[in-house]
A = this chain, B = another copy of it.
Amino acid sequence: MDEFDPGNEEIMEATFRALGEQGHRNLTIQDIADEFDKSKSLLYYHYDSKEMLFADLFRYISQKFLEELQLTEGSPKAQLHHLIDRLLPGTIDEERYAAQVALLELRSQIPHVDVYAEQYTEIDSLFKRTVSDIIRTGIEQGQFHEVDPEQEANLLVSAVSGMRTRRLTSADFSVEAARQTLFAHLHTRLFKETASYE
């Protein structure tokens, strides 16, 4: 995946804010410039079109998402718990909310923008691989029941992904109920009673 240039982070934060306020649809580069504290010419120097800026935004958000997929120390059980905590936190701060809204907006453009499609395909695969690797390790260590790691990862990734989108798009969605649903599923289907959390 193309690397995101960390020098442009403040521009990305301004883009988040502009997106959070009025959405993707009618956003102009001027709206983003309005949210950007530094010299506007700096913005125009880096990005001469909205398309370039959004392509970089996708890189930036992808990188943030990949950071959330980084495994923590601990048993496979703890790793799955932490992953759900990071991807579906009980409460969500403004910046993360803006990032999730922006990711949803960019994802919705994937059928029309090839560069987004390539990037998202990579993210989706990595997400699935991360989960199936944890499950495989859990089974090998005798802590998880003998499920099909690929199928179980497919179900979990789809459910978490669906919950993240439902959280943004349905007013009645309860993240607490969603988390309980996931943890209950893992405890029934995956974790043996003896599975260690440490």
Interface residue ranges, A against B (CB under 8 Å): 20, 22-25, 101, 104-105, 107-113, 117-118, 120-121, 124-125, 148, 150-151, 154-155, 157-163, 165-166, 168-173, 177-178, 180-182, 184-185, 188-189
Shortest Cβ distance from A20 into B: residue = B111
Bound-state Cα–Cα, A92 to B138, Å: 36
Beta-carbon contact of B120 and A170 below 8 Å: yes
With A104-B107, A151-B181, A189-B189: A158-B168 Cβ-Cβ less than 8 Å: no
Q: Which residues of B contact A24 (CB under 8 A)?
A: 25, 108-109
Question: Is the CB–CB distance between A158 and B170 below 8 Å?
Answer: no
Contact in complex: A124, B159 (CB < 8 Å) = no
Nearest-CB distance from A183 to chain B (Å)?
10
Q: Are B169 and A159 in contact (CB under 8 A)?
A: no
Does A181 contact B161, Cβ atoms closer than 8 Å? no
With both beta carbons as reference points, the residue of chain B lying nearest to A182 in the complex is identified as: B155
Closest B residue to A113 by CB, please name it.
B23
Cβ–Cβ < 8 Å partners of A157 in chain B: 162, 166
Query: 19 A-B pairs, CB-CB below 8 angstroms?
Result: A23-B112, A24-B108, A104-B108, A105-B108, A107-B108, A107-B165, A108-B108, A117-B171, A124-B166, A151-B180, A151-B181, A151-B185, A154-B177, A155-B182, A158-B159, A158-B160, A158-B178, A159-B162, A162-B163
